[in-house]
Structure 1
Amino acid sequence: MSGDDSGGRAEMHHRHRDVNGGWLRPSVFGAMDGLVSNFALIAGVAGGTASTTVIVLAGVAGLAAGAFSMAGGEYVSVASQRELALAEIDVERRELERHPEAEQQELAKLYEDRGVEPAVAAEVARQISMDPDRALEVHTQAELGVTAQDLPSPRIAAISSFLSFGVGALLPLLPYLLGVTSLTTSAVISCLALFGAGALVSRVTARSWWYSGLRQLLVGAVAAALTYGLGTLLGGVGL
């Protein structure tokens, strides 16, 4: 076959990762937060008491409270962000209905500022403006950086955050639920999970897997060590 494919569909040479979805950020943040916060909580309680029952109760309470809090917070945050964006999109829609010529000129000027020749920019803006839905999409993308179709879902964000926090918070608690009473086992599992989670995140970032893994391990270990020290101190004075 000839290398000239100009008569058919343009060949796609690469793909981009989805950066607008509502699931990635809450999932990653939820898992990290659940792992670090519950590991630190369990370490702090273990530093102040030898009672396995108290440690397990604190871990379960931390998992439940954190998961529901994260889910609720993500839902409200993403819903508010979505409502604000939709309100601004409605403003743009009304402007297109009331002042179509001015909006068309604004679009042509936008293309001119990006290096398109004035005559070509005017023609592109004219053709786009013939379709109100396409015109609205182009205007909102250019002026707001979003489109109505790309807005994240509050429900997806909340569910992703709840599940990921729960999974992360369960890992440091799991040894105690299985009958192991040593904080060391929980710490080893947590540290391995911290490094693994950080390394996994590197797949959607520009960082190397070992740098991302070590960074997350360091953050979690420091948080747990400080909380353990605080628990030991308070336990030592009888609080």
Structure 2
Amino acid sequence: MSTPEPLPDPGAVTHEHPDVTGGWLRPAVFGAMDGLVSNFALIMGVTGGSSDRTPVIIAGLAGLAAGAFSMAAGEYTSVASQRELAQAQVAIEREEIVRNGPAEQAELAAAFVAKGIDEATAREVAQQVHRDLDHAVAVHAAEEMGIDPDDLPSPVVAAASSFLAFTAGAVVPLLPLVLGATSSAPTIVLSLLALFACGAVVTRVTSRPWWYGGLRQLVLGGAAAGVTYLIGHAVGTGVG
């Protein structure tokens, strides 16, 4: 019987993957984009309907506060519900493994065979996995539901990320007005630059070119602000 070759040293692996399941990236990116686009559009809408700078600033501050708290509350509820659903399903899987271990072990072996592992090895691996209940639950959860019971997204992290990101994005179009700008030009220029920059930054964790992401976000955000400005102008003219 030949001696099996030793496994390669894990230390030889030099690449690393970013955290894609921690619950912070999606709400942070969405929050920043939403804060920037929504407050930019809101400010431009009020600007279109009023020549007075005061209501524009008030609207921008109100939009920032309302949007940040709304985003945080929504993300917390969404992620908490998702986490609770995952935990409930993991509990069901644990109960099933305790109640019907051999069948669950056979199911796991079949899943390994479907991935290309020969049947004898798959049965042996499944048997070893089932020696420890917690380990078995974790492996079944990963295979059947694609989740790690010990690394579920945190609703607090999601809410905080969303709140801070929305606030950071919403401050951008408001900043020139707070600093004393008397025209909408600084707000427009700064917001469009921020839109392009945000879109470009997002491509750092995707496969898109930076210029594509930047232009896409600039066009979408700029269009939203432009349409809202026209609506505000039409309403302001009609009311006046």
- Cα distance in 1, alignment partners of residues 154 and 182 from structure 2: 41
1:203 corresponds in structure 2 to 204
Q: What residue ranges of structure 1 are gaps of 5+ in the alignment?
A: none
Spell out, residue by residue over 1:143-193, the C-alpha distance to the aligned partner (whole angstroms, 9 max, x if none).
Answer: 011011121000000000000000100000001101112111100000000
> Counterpart of 2:35?
34
Looking at structure 2, the residues matched to 179 and 120 of structure 1 have their Cα atoms a distance apart, in angstroms, of 72
| Aligned equivalent of 1:173 | 174
Q: Which amino acid aligns with 1:88?
A: Q
Aligned pair in 2 of structure 1 residues 123, 74: CA closer, same or farther (>3 Å)? Answer: same
Shift of 1:7: 7.1
What is the aligned partner in structure 2 of residue 160 from structure 1?
A: 161
> Do structure 1's residue 103 and structure 2's residue 104 form an aligned pair?
yes
Number of the residue aligned with 1:24: 25
Kindly state the Cα deviation for residue 223 of structure 1 after the two structures are TM-superposed.
0.1
Give the alignment of 1:1-80 within 5 angstroms. Answer: 6=7, 8-80=9-81
Matched with 2:216 is 215
Per-residue CA shift, 1:83-111, capped at 9, x if unaligned? 00000000000001111111111111111
- Moved segments of 4+, more than 6 Å: none
Q: Secondary structure at the match of 1:162?
A: helix
- Measured against aligned partners, the alpha-carbon deviations of 1:109-167 in whole angstroms (never above 9, x if no partner) come to 11111111111111010011101111111000000110111210000000000000001
Does the C-alpha gap of structure 1 residues 9 and 172 become closer, same or farther in structure 2, counting only changes over 3 Å?
Answer: closer
The SS at the match of 2:164 is: helix
Note closer, same or farther for the CA distance 1:128–1:186 as it changes in structure 2 (3 Å cut).
Answer: same
Number of equivalenced pairs: 236
Q: Percent same amino acid among aligned pairs?
A: 55
Deviations 1:38-83 (A, max 9, x none): 0000000000001111000000000000000000000000000000
Counterpart check, 1:230 vs 2:231: yes
Task: Give the alignment's Cα RMSD to 1 decimal.
Answer: 1.4
Give 1:13 deviation, angstroms.
3.5
TM-score, scaled to structure 1? 0.96
SS of the equivalent of 1:148 reads coil
Distance 2:117 2:168 in 1: 51
**Partner letter of residue 65 of structure 1?**
A
Q: Matches of 2:63 and 2:13 in 1, distance apart?
A: 47
Aligned to 1:131: 132
